[in-house]
């Protein structure tokens, strides 16, 4: 099997035009109107990334930007300490930033939240209560039993919990909901694990050592004195998140006694996850060394694993999400790839890269994974989740008459 690099990318011109998947261009939506979207936490790192990605999105147009009261009332370019490597998009440069209240976002069909955890809890709840559809990158609701934790290339099916989330809300909701995406390190590893479980059945154990980029900590984030010429072998709460979130994402949904549906946390087959998280002097791109053990005996060979990963096609691609990558998993044959500096921006960071698939003398298989933490590990996941929800009819267009209702 050749490297899929060439199958994936084509030449530079292709790569440029590939930002949005052409399988499902805008015209094929049942309703060709654009969705107006709002961004909470718009001045922060994740917010800036949302803006960059959405500036040329075929379905979504930025309608409103929310930030703290300190920034509210001022033009965006004056309050954002813009740290992206492309300039502030014209369309938002002079947009006036608003406080994060539902009233200010009433015209938005979709809300993307890049809020910090200390603010996200209350604000996202308020927005949901106001019948807004919230796609959040924050951790606050990931463990909520009625909020789906969706890695869009893995468990789009978990969106099916949304009606229950709405009906259990007090008062019950017609349109509002919260969808979360996973921690950046979790997201990266969940994709190949999902591909392998699909092909070979349950995984029993995974030992994961991460080498995580500084951008994962936001801005100002990691002090340079802590990371230049250094490794910090600890990221607060990160290992616990990985060990827990993977179970929710890779698990299914079951009917529980009371007629309610519940996430089963991979209960069909116990999965033990051990994570060791490290910060390294890399700007973007989390590298992870993964060793896994399958339930199935004998386990698949490295070559079978490579093939299953390369062939993995998530629903997000099949359904035609414009931000989904062409290849969910790019499998490298070179012995020293993937590398964050060389591979993190392929497919705009919407897929993951895997390399060095080989036998593990202790478990079954080990490999190296690279995931772009600011793309598929954060904003891109939220956006594909919103695309999935739109395609599934879960996101209503917000018209002028609806504004009255609110």
Query: In the window 340-379, what residues touch a copy of itself (CB under 8 A)?
Result: 340-342, 345-346, 355-356, 360-363, 366, 368
Q: Is 335 left (phi over 0), alpha (psi -120 to 50) or beta?
A: alpha
Q: Which span sits near a copy of itself by CB under 8 A: 22-30, 111-119, 222-230, 254-262?
A: 222-230
Q: Which of 1, 13, 32, 405 binds a copy of itself (CB under 8 A)?
A: 13
Could you tell me which of 359, 326, 358, 330 has the C-alpha nearest to residue 342?
330
Residues 277-306 contacting a copy of itself, CB under 8 A? 278, 280-283, 287, 289, 291
Contacts of residue 374, Cβ cutoff 8 Å, sequence gap at least 6: 45, 46, 49, 184, 215, 216, 284, 349
Should residue 337 be labelled a site residue for a copy of itself when binding is judged by CB under 8 A? yes
Should residue 1 be labelled a site residue for a copy of itself when binding is judged by CB under 8 A? no
Residues 67-126 contacting a copy of itself, CB under 8 A? 83-91, 93
CB of 86 to a copy of itself, least distance (A): 5
Should residue 219 be labelled a site residue for a copy of itself when binding is judged by CB under 8 A? yes
CB of 189 to a copy of itself, least distance (A): 14
Q: Evaluate whether 195 touches 351 at the Cβ level (below 8 Å).
A: no
Tokens 């369309």 correspond to what residue?
Answer: 91
CA distance 365 to 290: 8
Nearer to a copy of itself, 82 or 119 (CB): 82
Q: Which residues of 25-58 are buried (b: 16+ CB within 10 A; e: fewer)?
A: eeeebeeeebbbbbbbbbbbbbbbbbbbbbbebb
Q: Alpha carbon 341 to chain centroid distance? A: 20
- Residue 360 is a catalytic residue: no
Nearer to a copy of itself, 70 or 341 (CB): 341
Residue 400: burial class (beta carbons within 10 Å; 0-12, 13-18, 19+): exposed
Should residue 5 be labelled a site residue for a copy of itself when binding is judged by CB under 8 A? yes
Q: Which of 115, 153, 190, 222 binds a copy of itself (CB under 8 A)?
A: 222
Nearer to a copy of itself, 82 or 319 (CB): 82
Tokens 């939506």 correspond to what residue?
Answer: 29
Residues 262-281 contacting a copy of itself, CB under 8 A? 272-274, 276, 278, 280-281
Of the residues 133, 184, 277, 321, only one is catalytic, namely 184
Q: Which of 109, 214, 246, 388 binds a copy of itself (CB under 8 A)?
A: 214
Coil, helix or strand at residue 277: strand
Q: Find the helix or strand (DSSP H, E) in which 381 lies.
A: helix 380-391
Q: Evaluate whether 19 touches 321 at the Cβ level (below 8 Å).
A: no
Q: Which span sits near a copy of itself by CB under 8 A: 7-15, 115-123, 156-164, 248-256?
A: 7-15
Q: Which span sits near a copy of itself by CB under 8 A: 136-144, 248-256, 294-302, 330-338?
A: 330-338
Nearer to a copy of itself, 87 or 399 (CB): 87
Residues 49-68 contacting a copy of itself, CB under 8 A? 52, 55-56
CB of 329 to a copy of itself, least distance (A): 16
Tokens 């890269």 correspond to what residue?
Answer: 353
Nearer to a copy of itself, 13 or 404 (CB): 13
CA distance 379 to 373: 9
CA distance 244 to 255: 21
Euclidean distance between the first and the last CA atom of the chain, given in angstroms as a whole number = 56
Residue 374: HSE in the Cβ half-sphere, 13 Å Cα cutoff: 29
**Binding pattern for the stretch 235-264 against a copy of itself, x by CB under 8 A and - elsewhere:** -x------x---------------------
Handedness of CA 71, 74, 78, 80 (dihedral sign): positive
Nearer to a copy of itself, 132 or 363 (CB): 363
- Residue 289 is a catalytic residue: no
CB of 221 to a copy of itself, least distance (A): 6
Q: Which span sits near a copy of itself by CB under 8 A: 95-103, 105-113, 130-138, 337-345?
A: 337-345
Q: What angle do CA 200, 192, 278 make, to 5 degrees?
A: 135
Of the residues 286, 327, 332, 346, only one is catalytic, namely 286
Nearer to a copy of itself, 220 or 393 (CB): 220
Nearer to a copy of itself, 116 or 226 (CB): 226
Cite the active site residues. 184, 286
């Amino acid at each position: 099997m050749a490297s899929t690099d060439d199958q994936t990318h084509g030449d530079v011109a292709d790569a440029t035009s590939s930002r949005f998947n052409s399988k499902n261009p805008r015209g094929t939506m049942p309703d060709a109107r654009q969705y107006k979207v709002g961004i909470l936490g718009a001045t922060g790192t994740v917010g800036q990334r949302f803006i960059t990605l959405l500036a040329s999105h075929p379905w979504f147009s930025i309608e409103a930007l929310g930030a703290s009261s300190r920034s509210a009332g001022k033009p965006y370019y004056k309050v954002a300490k813009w740290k992206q490597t492309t300039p502030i998009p014209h369309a938002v440069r002079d947009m006036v930033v608003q406080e994060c209240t539902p009233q200010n976002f009433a015209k938005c069909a979709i809300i993307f939240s890049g809020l910090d955890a200390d603010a996200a809890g209350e604000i996202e709840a308020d927005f949901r209560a106001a019948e807004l559809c919230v796609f959040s990158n924050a951790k606050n609701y990931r463990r909520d039993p009625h909020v789906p934790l969706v890695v869009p290339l893995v468990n789009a099916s978990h969106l099916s919990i949304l009606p229950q989330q709405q009906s259990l809300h007090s008062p019950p909701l017609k349109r509002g909901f919260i969808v979360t995406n996973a921690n950046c390190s979790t997201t990266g590893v969940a994709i190949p694990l999902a591909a392998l479980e699909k092909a070979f059945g349950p995984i029993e154990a995974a030992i994961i050592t991460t080498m995580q980029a500084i951008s994962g900590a936001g801005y100002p984030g990691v002090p340079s004195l802590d990371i230049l010429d250094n490794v910090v072998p600890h990221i607060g709460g990160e290992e616990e998140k990985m060990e827990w979130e993977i179970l929710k994402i890779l698990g299914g949904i079951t009917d529980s006694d009371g007629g309610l549906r519940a996430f089963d946390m991979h209960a069909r087959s116990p999965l033990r996850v051990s994570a060791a998280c490290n910060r390294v002097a890399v700007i973007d791109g989390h590298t992870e060394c993964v060793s896994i053990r399958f339930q199935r005996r004998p386990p698949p060979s490295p070559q079978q694993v490579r093939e299953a990963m390369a062939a993995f096609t998530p629903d997000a691609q099949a359904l035609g999400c414009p931000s989904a990558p062409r290849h969910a998993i790019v499998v490298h044959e070179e012995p020293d790839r993937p590398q964050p500096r060389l591979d993190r921006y392929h497919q705009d960071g919407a897929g993951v890269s895997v390399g060095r698939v080989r036998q593990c003398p202790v478990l079954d298989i080990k490999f190296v994974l690279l995931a772009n933490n600011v793309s598929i590990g954060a904003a891109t996941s939220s956006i594909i989740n919103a695309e999935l929800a739109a395609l599934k009819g879960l996101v209503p267009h917000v018209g002028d008459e609806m504004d009255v209702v609110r």
